[in-house]
Structure 1
């Protein structure tokens, strides 16, 4: 038996909590931006985040409401997505605090920054992967704005590379779950796709065994 939920008959907050409890795990875009005057560096986690395009490379994150990250991106046209690893769990959570727009999270939380190569917002020095982005477009949807950023530069720490490729066991990504829950990678499974020329129900079952 299923329990039915209708957005039309529920308040938006309740349906939001349902969505975020079942659309899991969600990767985290730890977004750094600069205020329009360039004086304050903002840093905030956004868990509605994914790849939008591979050629050209475009990533997207969603701002629910008009948050500092969104306002800064609109004003400057630039941002950095800093990878959110498990060892920085408490710092990442702390940057979700609703600091005033003129109080930068780097300084407030005590996070070391480093200069970016292609954009003005700084990078998180301890983050193993950074994606420097320029604004491609924004899309307003209800109470939210989707931000599309073209990746103009990527930098990966050699400490998380194995044979030249980022290794999931070394990256140790964090993910958001429902409520105040966070997730880590846990057990990893490898399963190659089956080419059509090799397809058969028995082949599928053999992969499952």
Structure 2
């Protein structure tokens, strides 16, 4: 059943007429909920970094490649996570579920590069199998990645990761597969808001 017809005189915008902040707010609110990559890296100096990125998705599934976006910057102005990922060519994507939401948000704080968000937010580490950076011990899914490629797109830097190894908690499995009904992932909405995934009462038909 299709909903009521929308007013044909609803507000409309020429993107070029808007300030960058207004454009960004529209896009970030319309493209939602956005999955969150809670990315762990280790700097060349051995400092463990952990930060959330809500511009994140996958571009290949049979041969898994994931990506995340971050503002483009040069040298020391670049954020720790993308700089570490490019310099060491390794990072882990930890999936955020509701019990981890507050800790995830805490790791968005701006810290000096010699400080670890794991320690700042009191997040427990666990070792990875194929890469040096640690994973979030309480994450129900973690994907260990090596750098596939990177690309600058206007004011953003996109980093692609080859998924080399995956950790999955038994608690979210049914018959050996991840069960969406057991997997309360956290998504980002526009502005300061988050949301938690809930199943609708109908299933996909096609």
C-alpha contact 2:186 2:194 (8 A) present in aligned 1 = yes
Out of 17, 25, 36, the position equivalent to 2:33 is: 25
**SS of residue matched to 2:57:** strand
Q: TM-score, normalised by structure 2?
A: 0.90
Higher helix share: 1
**SS of residue matched to 1:75:** helix
Out of 54, 64, 67, the position equivalent to 1:47 is: 54
Distance in 1, Cα, partners of 2:63 & 2:178: 21
Residue 95 of structure 2 corresponds to which residue in structure 1? 83
Cα distance, 1:192 vs. partner?
Answer: 2.3
Residue 168 of structure 1 corresponds to which residue in structure 2? 180
Report the aligned-residue RMSD: 1.1
Unaligned stretches of 5+ in structure 1?
194-209
| Mapping of residues 124-139 of structure 1, within 5 Å | 124-139=136-151
Length, aligned pairs only:
192
Unaligned stretches of 5+ in structure 2?
1-8, 73-77
Distance in 2, Cα, partners of 1:179 & 1:15: 13
Q: Does 1:16 align with 2:19?
A: no
Distance in 2, Cα, partners of 1:171 & 1:72: 29
Distance in 1, Cα, partners of 2:199 & 2:169: 23
